[in-house]
Chains A and B, each alone.
Chain A
C-alpha cells in the first residue's frame, strides 16, 4: 500500500509541501484522484468506499500512535548501549580464548592478540563516547568530507607501493605507529553517511512517480552511483567480501529509502544473473563453489587432498562447531583453536565459540546481533529526521549483515568470502570504526522520539 504515490498527500506526511496539492490533476487516473479527496468523498462503489474507510481508520491509528511519542533530548538508548558493551566484552573474552594458543605458537606470547583487543576496545570505547557528543548536525556536516576522504584513501591503496598487497588483494594501508588499516572499513561508514544524506535530501524526487518525475534517475540511478563508486573502488582492490557488503548495505538502504521496488527487483535480477555468470565462467569462483557444495552437502566424503587444502578451513570450522554439542566443551577448552582452525581469532572465531560454548553460545551471539538490529531499528524509527534514521539503519544493517554473512560462511551455508565477525574477529582499526559507528547510533538515539511515559 505504501507504494502508492498518493499516500504522499495524507496530512501525516510532513515532507509533503502544500503546493503539491495544487498541482494539475493527473489526467491518467482521474477516478483515483476523486477517490483520494477525503474532504469531498464521492464513493464510486461500495468496494472503494470500504477501502477508503479502511485507510481512514489506519490513518487514525497512526495519528494516535504518533501522539504517544514525544521528541525529547533525553539520555541515550540504554538497551542498545548494553548490547554493544555485551558484544564488546563477549568479543574480547572469546577473542582471547580463541587466540591464545595460536598467539603463543606464533608470537610466543599467548596474550598477544588479547592485548591488541583490549587496546583497540579501549580506543573504540573512547571513540564511541566522543561520538555521543557530536550532534546530528555535526555528523551530517562530515558526510561530504568523509566520502571524499574515503575515495582518496581507496585510490591511495590502489597505488602500488603505497597499498600493501596480501595474496592478489591489495587492500591495506600502512600507518606508522598504528599498523595496517583497511580503507574499505572507513569507506563503508562514509558510504552509509552519503547514502543517508542522498536518500533524505532527494526523498521527494526519489518517490515521485508522477509524470515529469524521474524516480528511476533520482531513486535508483543516483543511489547506485553513491554506493557504486565506493563499491567499484573496493572491487578494484580484489576485495570481494568488502564489495558484497557495501553493495548489500547500499541496496538495503535504497529499499528503506523508498526507492521503487520495481527497480530494485529488476536490478536484483540483473545482479543475480551477473553473479551466477561470474561464478560459472570464472575459474576461481568456480572451484570455490565446488568446494563449498562439497562441504555443505557431503562433508564426510571429501577427497583427502581437497580436505587438506581448499576445504581445510571450512571443514575444520565444521568440526569445531560439531564437536561443541549443545553446551560446548567449556570456555577455553577448544581443541580446534590449537592449530586446526587456522587463525582462529579471525574470520572463523564463531566456530570456536560454538565449540567452547555450544549451541547455547551460538544462539547467544546471534541473539545479541539480533538485539542490536532490533534496538537499532527502534532508534532509526524514532529518529528525528530521515537522514539520521537512514544513517542509523545503515549502520545497523552493516553490522547485522556482516554477522549473518560471517556465520553463514562458517556454517558453510554460503561460500567462503572472508568476512569478519563484528566485535569478535580480531582487527584493530575495524573495531575502532565499528565503535565509532555505535557512537553515532547512540548519538542519534539521544534525539529520539520517545514514548510518553
Chain B
C-alpha cells in the first residue's frame, strides 16, 4: 500500500499551471479561428494577389498598306532596358565577400563597385545620365527599374555585349517591345497619322481605325514565388493576344507620290501662306487615291515642327520654355498636323460653277447654246452695286458654254436666279455639301452654308462665294458630275486583312444617291473638256493625249485681311477629271493664300493638275489618244549614234523623222548633239552628227526666251541651232497666250549647237 510521493500542494499547483496552459491554448485557438475562418477570403485574396503576376501580351498593331499592299506603316522591334537593383545589390555583396576572402576567391573580381560599373556602362551606351541610373539602382528592393525605352537594335546589341563582357546577366535585362515605323516619313503624313507612346492612334487613320488596328491584348496569369520563379497555380491562364487587322487603304503610293510632288512644287512656287492641299479620287467609287497637305511633317518624328512652323515660333520671339512659347509650340503642332483636305473649310469659288451649271442644266433652265451678255457685272436685286465679273471689261455676247468655260460670273448669276433659291438649296444639299461626306478620317469639318438665302446670297453662291466647304466635299460633288450623277462617299479604307491575307472586311463603296442625270453630266463634261483643250480658262490643265475636264477657281477670302488690312487674300484652286469620255480620276489642288506672283487658280493650281494627270493617267492604264497635232509634237528618244556609219545614221534619221546635219567628212559618227538618250520633239528636233576629226567645238549662246510666246521662243532657239524641249503644258501652240516662264540652260550660256534647251510654257491670260 502506497500513496503518491509528491505533495498534494505541488500537484495542485501543477494542475493550476496545466489549466492555465489550456486556457492560453484556447485563446490562441480562438485567435487562429478568427484569422483563418473569419478573414479567410480576405487573406486568400491577399495571397493570390501577392503570388500572381498578370503579364500583358501586347497585340501587334496592324500594318497600314497602300492599295497595292505596299507597307506604309508597320512595327519594328525596339528594346526596353531595365536593371534589377536587387540583383545589383546581391552581386555587390558577392563581390565584396570575394574581395574580403582574398586569395583565390578574389581572382578576377572587379575592383569597381557594381552600381558604378553599370551606371557608367549604360550611360555611355544609352545616353542616360549616370546620376539617374544610380538613383534607380538605389531602390534595392526592386527587381525592375526601367533605364530606357525604345532602344534601337544597335544600342541593344551594345548593351548585350556589355552584359556579356562583365557577366551582368542578373543585373541588366532587355525586353523586346515594338515601335511604330512609317516607311515613307512625310508621305501622306496627315492622313496616315501617328500613335502615342502607349501605341494608341492619335491622328489620321491611326486614330480612326485604332480599334481595328490595335487588336486585343492577351493575358498571362501566372503564380510566382518570392524568388520570381513560376510555380503551379490553379488559376494560371494564358490568353493569346489577337493581333490588329491590317488596313489596306485606297491610297496608291505612286499617285500619292505624284500628287505630293506637284503640291510641293506649287507650294514652293506660290509661297502659299496657309499651305496647299490636294486630293485625288476614283470618281466611281469615292476611293481616295491620293491626299496630301503641304507643309507636312515626318511621321517618324511628328512632334518636331517643320521648317515653316519653326520659323513662326522663332519669329514670335518668345523665350524657349516660357509659357507662351509652349502654348504657341503646341498650337503650331496642331496646325501642322491638320489635314487641310478634311478639317479646313474654304470658299470653293469658280470650281463651284460646275455644280451650279449641273443643277441648271438638269432643271433645264439653261441649255449650252443659250446666249448671254456680260457687261462686266450684274445688278442683283437687294444689292446696290453690280456684282462684278472677274473680267471687269465683260465677256460680251457669249453662249452658256463659252460663259462657263470663261468662268463668267453674270452668266452663272443669271441662270441661278432662274433656278430659284429653293431648288438651288436643295441641290446643294443633294450634292452632299450640307452633310459630312463621311470620309473615314477624324475631324471632318461641316459646311458653313446660308440657313436662309437671299437673292444676293444666291447670286454670290452661284459662283462659289460666301459659303464654305471642305476640299473633300467639293471634290466629292465634282465626282458626282464626273461619274454620271452619283454621289459617292470618299473613303480611305479599302479592306481589312489579317496577317495571312484573309479579307476580314471590305468597304461598301456603293453611291449614296443619284443627284443629276447622266445626260446632264455628259453635256457638262464636254463643255468643261472644251474649256481645257479649247480656249477656256482651264487651258493650263491640258494633257497631251488625254481629254481632261477641268475648272479653275480663285476665291476671295472675305473673312481674313492681309498685312495691310485689305481683303486681297485669295485661294487658287483647280478641279479636274479625266479622261473626259469616261472619267476615272478626279483631282483637286488648292493653294491657300499664294504670296508670290499670281493668285489665280489657273496659274497656281491648273498646271500642276496637268502635270499630275500626265503622269497618273498612263499609270492608271488610260490609253493616250493623240490628235494629229499632238502626234507631230511627240518626242522621240534619240539613240546614241556614236560609232555608226554616217550612212546608217542618216537612214535612221529618216525613220524617226528628225532633221539632221552632218559636220565633217568622215565615214563614222564620232560625236552627236544632242547626246544619245535625249528627248527630242519630232517636229522641231535637229540632230548634229560630227564625223572624222570634227568635234563640237563651236559654241552658241543661248538666247533669252523668257516671257516670249511659244512660237517666238521656239523660232529663236531653233534659229540659234539649239533643240527645244517643252516642260509643262504642251499644247502651247493652240493658244496665243502661253509664254515661257522658265528656261534651262539660262540665257547667254555658251553651249554646243544642238543642245537641248528646256523651256516651260504657261498661259497667263486666264484669270479665274
Contact = CB atoms under 8 A, between A and B. Distances in A.
A362 B35 CA distance: 12
Given A377-B15, A411-B32, A319 B46 contact: yes
A363 B9 CA distance: 31
Contacts of B15: 377, 381
Interface string A377-410: 1001111111001100100010011001001100
B71 to A, nearest CB: 46
A2 B29 contact: no
Secondary structure at chain A's binding surface: helix, strand, loop or mixed? helix
Interface in B1-26: 1-15, 17-18, 21-22, 24-25
B512 interface: no
A404 B13 contact: no
Interface in A1-56: 2, 7, 12-15
Given A319-B47, A323-B46, A338-B226, A370 B22 contact: yes
Given A322-B35, A370-B21, A386 B6 contact: yes
Given A366-B28, A393-B14, A386 B5 contact: yes
Nearest to A16: B7
Interface in A319-353: 319-326, 335-336, 338-340, 342
A400 B37 CA distance: 25
Nearest to B141: A308
A338 B44 contact: no
A400 B21 contact: yes
Interface string B20-62: 0110110111011101110110111011101100000000000
A339 B225 contact: yes
Given A2-B12, A321-B43, A12 B6 contact: no
Contacts of A105: 225, 227, 229
B5 A252 contact: no
Q: Which of B24, B35, B50, B231 has the most CB of A within 10 A?
A: B35
A358 interface: yes
Given A362-B32, A411-B35, A338 B227 contact: yes
A258 interface: yes
A69 B6 contact: no
Contacts of A377: 14-15, 17-18
Given A258-B13, A319-B43, A69 B24 contact: no
Interface stretch (A59-67, A117-125, A286-294): A59-67
A354 interface: yes
B287 interface: no
Contacts of A335: 47, 50-51, 223, 225, 231, 233
Given A66-B3, A321-B36, A362 B29 contact: yes
Contact of A322 (B18, B29, B46): B46
A308 B140 CA distance: 12
Given A258-B7, A400-B21, A404-B28, A359 B226 contact: no
A404 B51 contact: no
A408 B21 CA distance: 12
Nearest to B27: A413
A62 B4 CA distance: 10
B4 A380 contact: no
A340 B32 contact: no
A321 B32 contact: yes
A118 to B, nearest CB: 25
Contact of B6 (A2, A7, A325, A381): A381
Contacts, number: 177
Given A2-B8, A7-B9, A380 B14 contact: yes
A363 B229 CA distance: 32
A400 B18 CA distance: 9
> Which of A14, A256, A336 neighbours the largest number of chain B CB atoms within 10 Å of its CB?
A256
A151 interface: no
Contacts of B44: 322-323, 325
Contacts of A342: 226
Contacts of B50: 319, 335, 340
Contact of B2 (A69, A252, A404): A69
A385 B4 CA distance: 9
A366 B35 CA distance: 16
Contacts of A393: 14, 17
A255 interface: yes
Interface string A410-438: 01010000000000000000000000000
B199 to A, nearest CB: 30
Nearest to A385: B5
Given A63-B3, A339-B227, A449-B2, A321 B21 contact: no
Nearest to B39: A322
B10 A366 contact: no
B32 A354 contact: yes
B402 to A, nearest CB: 85
A258 B10 contact: yes
A245 to B, nearest CB: 14
Contacts of A354: 32, 35-36
A7 B231 CA distance: 67
A404 B35 contact: no
Contacts of A385: 5-6
Contacts of B2: 66, 69-71, 449
Contacts of A2: 8-9, 12-13
A209 B7 CA distance: 17
A373 interface: yes
Contacts of B40: 322-326
Nearest to A7: B9
Given A322-B42, A370-B22, A256 B14 contact: yes
Interface string B301-340: 0000000000000000000000000000000000000000
Contact of B4 (A256, A318, A359, A382): A382
Nearest to B47: A323
A357 to B, nearest CB: 11
Contact of B226 (A14, A15, A339, A413): A339
Given A339-B225, A411-B32, A256 B47 contact: no
B14 A325 contact: no
A71 B6 CA distance: 12
Nearest to A106: B227
A350 to B, nearest CB: 9
Contacts of A66: 2-4
Contact of B43 (A65, A323, A339): A323
Contacts of A174: none
Chain A CB count within 10 A is highest, among B1, B5, B9, B225, for B5
The interface centre, meaning the residue of A15, A308, A322 with most chain B CB atoms within 10 A of its CB, is A322
A413 B32 CA distance: 10
B97 to A, nearest CB: 16
A374 B9 contact: no
Contacts of B226: 338-340, 342
Interface in A111-165: none
Interface in B438-477: none
A227 interface: no
Nearest to B232: A333
Given A66-B4, A335-B231, A393-B14, A322 B43 contact: yes
Contacts of A389: 5-6, 10, 14
A101 interface: yes
Given A70-B1, A383-B5, 20 more contacts: A14-B7, A15-B7, A66-B3, A69-B2, A258-B7, A300-B42, A319-B50, A322-B47, A325-B40, A326-B40, A366-B28, A369-B25, A377-B15, A377-B17, A380-B14, A381-B4, A389-B10, A390-B10, A411-B32, A449-B4
17 contacts: A69-B2, A70-B2, A71-B2, A203-B7, A256-B17, A319-B43, A321-B36, A322-B47, A325-B36, A335-B225, A338-B229, A366-B28, A370-B22, A370-B25, A382-B4, A393-B14, A404-B24
Interface of B: 1-15, 17-18, 21-22, 24-25, 27-29, 31-33, 35-37, 39-40, 42-44, 46-48, 50-51, 141, 223, 225-227, 229, 231, 233
